[in-house]
Chain A
């Protein structure tokens, strides 16, 4: 068997090179850990080595972490604990070696990699911008189980450790040096020389002391908070409160992390490690962790594969145009400018263009409040935007994205005109959310360059972009659009050209169900609270207010027509818009009254509900919380099944990710189809039959679900 580690000893300096055979990255698999243990055991009594330097042979990678596949496979707590103990024991041995050890971090060093480096005596990082040190375990619903929660606070204190472990956000070498996670920062280009210098430094007693002293230096605030029980109590109280505010208590890992640090901060290492693996093993076997890891894998898969049929080399995009500088056009302008791609916005008047500039500048301004931006950076990005009232400059563009009003005839006219004003090979994309790509492309002489590229609102916050090829769209056009979306730091996903595509198609019946329930006299705030309790980032009515009721109504109406849904279910929306001019947050009031600080229920809605009830002869309904939840969630389930049945998207796990990214479906549930799996198809069908009987035909489960029940199948069988 080939070895992952390679040791050379030259003049007292041991160099241990980690180079996992046959892999692009170094990671800790069971085998690797075993080999490492044997190696450490063999070095224990080695008198030749004065200092041991540990490096990686992989470019831009030190150690990517533990093998997540091994963690996700664990079903029993005892096995999880064993896995944690195994790593802890080996890292303890590393720490106990009789000579100093130095981890040289010149690339990604995450999770187990960081924990490994923390068990070394010294850590050195380069200023390579690929250096990423951090403990991202929390994002996978677990916590660092190989000593990270114990060694990090002892090294850099509680405040900083809590923030690193709770956010899971990696940092570069410069930041690591400032945080005192590493003892030296060396220029990558002079790595060898500077490392040699560092080794000389630590061989010298007084110089070495300086390094230890630097670690101990603490700021005033740190001393005040961490060096006395009262300060610490406040620190943990605050941490818990923040976690609760952020996660609403549905994610156990962050709470466990705070609890663990609180309980173990003062304990000796071996006791702390015992607690750590105990907490780790509890979390590792939860469904939530399995779900989050599954989503992580899907996310990784999506980075390479957007679901396109063929892989073709994309064409380069040097500049872009956008038709319509409304909310979506402006958002698209922001995304391009942020990626340093010149983009020219066309609209029929200067005022919408000005608004687009202002909105874009506002997004940068806001981002700058959280993180200092280098002087002039915003201005330089803003210079990527230009604007026009005619088509001047459009011949230079490699792609033009249409983002004008959702009206087939107007769009067709715009495309006819556009085609005469761009090059033969310019990609023409539509940001439509509801209309047929194929029908739009029919007006073009050259439909193979036409594609749907559906961004979500607000563009700066929504990561998903639906890529919708029409019947005649070329593979090259698809590949180029996918590559472009990735350059814009978005996640592209190929879906079939059908009404509402994927996300809106599934979301709209859910929104319609919410409106219908409101019309049945069910308390709006109650429905919102139930859905938030389920884990949705906001209830359906708050969402509607955010989107804008007019937009919501229009999308619902268009799709209701194309999907055969009952339009009288959204009568309330129509009345709100037409009678009371309630448009949601943008007009100050919708289902809720919005003022600058808070929002509260809009009582005018009740009157309108009565009106709808009278004209449609609807009697108010008494209903259980469970039925409210099921009516909402099972509309999602049924429509999702229908989408798979119609092959709107082929892979169930991509559908799950799309809903997480596109609607904020709670990640801890792993996605709507994974949720079906967790309930069990038997129980799901049972609920469907109940809902069908009681609430109507729309709850008749789709064929795909019936088939699954007949064959007792799961969506995620193959993946596990």
Chain B
């Protein structure tokens, strides 16, 4: 077994609904706020950091290699290397496991890792027809040619391609993420009512956590550029007054006629960032630091993209085999709530011997997913899911909650668009 990776401290911004408070704040800005604050709160000597690794899905056009932009905006030295990783929804975990690999290989001693996403700022794209029109116009040599080119213009050229929608669509199976959830709801026979009930619970748990100030330690206040008219202190998607009745009124969003997945029982698109400081356990000891927790092991697994929501089952099965842990060993579990249907499908798949035999090539079920240990402070349905940042949030939230409960071992897992899953085994002591 490899040495554990110490997670010294972790922080995040509030997660906020897209096109709202953070609409003018880039993913790089959000990332920089967190890194800056992380270094200030830990008083960590900047010159001891070897690299910055950030996960990001949408790759903003004005911040190529966003990890480097984040590092410099946060005030880290220009001599610091940085790179960006992308594994869709697991990008914020990928940065942590990529860092772990470098640490294990002794390629670095201290790494700041995290995830940042602004789903507000995913651009609209000109259609190929419009692009062609611009190109012809630029090429036109004289006024006659220019007029001729103008004549080819049709209003339909102006219809933009919505970058966000494209990003959330699997180009292989051609399904938008919501439809993969619809598929699981049918396969595992998860009713609309069950989905809504799960969504309600997520809001209730998150609202309780907010009113109990449970998340205060991990969230930094963000002063919102450009005019700084507000200070955002908490996740703004949580509805304390959410009700089954209100959820029930919503129309299915992805399959409007026969579907059951609504915007109420799915996670909203959001903006946010999170970051952690990582080093080997031995390095932390050497420095006399008291880590928030440890990464013990991780696994990624892949599956059919149209059933991507089951990713956690596949990845966790792999993780258990690798570590010899069983589902009973986990004191707490964070399983990302992309869709209520998807989480409930996972619950069934985890417990199913048949599923294990058919898809995982193992004779016994992976193990029971105890719902009372799952996402105890609410999940993405309430909190939001800035895709590149969520992975890091799950790790931070899980470790903080284990500490609070004086418990030790946790599982952080999520499903990944395109058909993958990620699972991390985390420990506090």
The answer to whether A and B interact is yes
A353 and B40 within 8 A (CB): no
Contact B230 A354 (CB under 8 A): yes
- List B contacts of A382 (CB < 8 A): 225
What number of B residues sit within 8 Å (CB to CB) of A?
A: 21
Range for the number of chain A residues in contact with chain B: 20 to 34
Give the distance in Å from the alpha carbon of A353 to the alpha carbon of B233 in the complex: 13
**Cβ contact within 8 Å between B73 and A392:** no
- With a cutoff of 8 Å between Cβ atoms, the chain A residues found around residue B228 in the complex are 354, 357-358, 361
**A window 366-397: CB within 8 A of B:** 378-380, 382-384, 386-388, 392-393, 395-396
The reply to whether B229 and A350 form a contact with Cβ atoms under 8 Å apart is: no
Minimum CB–CB distance for A364 against chain B, Å: 9
B41 CB-CB contact with A under 8 Å: yes
**Cβ–Cβ < 8 Å partners of B73 in chain A:** 379-380, 383
Asked whether, in the complex, the Cβ of A384 is within 8 Å of the Cβ of B75, the reply is yes
Q: Which of A350, A387, A393, A395 makes the CB contact (< 8 A) with B233?
A: A350
Contact between B41 and A393, CB atoms less than 8 A apart = yes
Cβ contacts under 8 Å, A378 to chain B:
226
User: At the interface, yes or no: B162 with Cβ under 8 Å from chain A?
Assistant: no
Q: Which of B29-37, B151-159, B185-193, B306-314 contacts A (4 or more CB under 8 A)?
A: B29-37
- Is B253 part of the binding interface, using a Cβ–Cβ cutoff of 8 Å? no
Task: For A388, list chain B residues within 8 Å (CB).
Answer: 40
Q: Are B40 and A396 in contact (CB under 8 A)?
A: yes
Query: Once the chains bind, are A383 and B43 in contact (CB under 8 Å)?
Result: no
Nearest-Cβ distance from residue A48 to partner chain B, whole angstroms: 51
- Provide the bound-state CA to CA distance between A358 and B228, in Å: 5
Contacts A354-B228, A358-B228: A383 and B41 contacting too (C-beta < 8 A)? no
Q: Say whether B246 faces chain A, with CB atoms less than 8 Å apart.
A: no
Contact with A along B40-51 (1 / 0, CB 8 A): 110100000000
**Cα–Cα, bound, A392→B221 (Å):** 14
Q: Given A354-B231, A383-B32, are A392 and B74 neighbors across the interface (CB < 8 Å)? A: no
- What separation, in Å, do the CA atoms of A354 and B39 have in the docked complex? 21
Would you list which residues of chain A between 575 and 607 have a CB under 8 Å from chain B? none
Tell whether A344 is near chain B: CB-to-CB under 8 Å: yes
Specify which chain A residues have a CB less than 8 angstroms from the CB of B40 in the assembled complex. Answer: 344, 386, 388, 392-393, 396
CB B67 to nearest CB in A, in angstroms, measures 15
**Of A351, A379, A395, which is within 8 A of B225 by CB?**
A379
CB-CB nearest in chain B for A392: B41
CB distance from B390 to the nearest CB of A (A): 24
| Chain B minimum-CB-distance residue to A349 | B231
Q: What string of 1s and 0s marks CB contacts (under 8 Å) between A510-524 and chain B?
A: 000000000000000
Distance (whole angstroms) from the CB of A709 to the closest CB of chain B:
57
- At the interface, yes or no: B138 with Cβ under 8 Å from chain A? no
Provide the A399-422 mask, 1 if CB < 8 A to any CB of B, else 0: 000000000000000000000000
The A-contacting residues of B in range 228-250, CB under 8 angstroms, are: 228-231, 233
Residue of B nearest to A387 (CB): B223
Q: Are B223 and A342 in contact (CB under 8 A)?
A: no
| B227 adjacent to chain A (CB < 8 Å) | yes
Q: Given A393-B40, A396-B40, is A350 in contact with B231 using a C-beta cutoff of 8 Å?
A: yes
Q: Tell me if A393 and B43 are in contact (CB < 8 A).
A: yes
Which residues of A are found within 8 Å of B43, using beta-carbon distances?
A: 392-393, 395-396
Closest-by-CB residue of A relative to B40 is: A393
Q: Which residues of A contact B229 (CB under 8 A)?
A: 358
Q: Please, which residue of chain A has its CB at the minimum distance from the CB of B230?
A: A354
**Are the C-beta atoms of B231 and A361 separated by less than 8 Å?**
no
User: What residues of chain A lie closer than 8 Å to B74, measured between beta carbons?
Assistant: 383
CA distance A491 to B225 in the complex (A): 31
Q: How far is the CB of A361 from chain B (nearest CB, A)?
A: 5
Residues of chain B within 8 A of A365, CB atoms compared: 226
A387 partner residues in chain B, CB cutoff 8 A: 223
Residue among A344, A354, A395 making CB contact with B223, cutoff 8 Å:
A354
Interchain CA distance A331-B71 in the complex, whole Å: 26
Can you list 12 contacts pairing A with B, beta carbon distance less than 8 Å? A350-B221, A350-B231, A354-B230, A354-B231, A357-B228, A358-B227, A379-B73, A379-B226, A383-B74, A387-B223, A392-B40, A392-B43
Residues of A within 8 A of B (CB): 342, 344, 350-351, 353-354, 357-358, 361, 365, 378-380, 382-384, 386-388, 392-393, 395-396
9 interchain residue pairs of minimum CB distance: A393-B40, A357-B228, A358-B228, A357-B223, A392-B41, A350-B231, A383-B73, A354-B231, A395-B43
Q: Identify 4 new A-B residue pairs, CB closer than 8 A, beyond the known A383-B32, A383-B36, A395-B43.
A: A351-B231, A354-B228, A361-B226, A386-B37
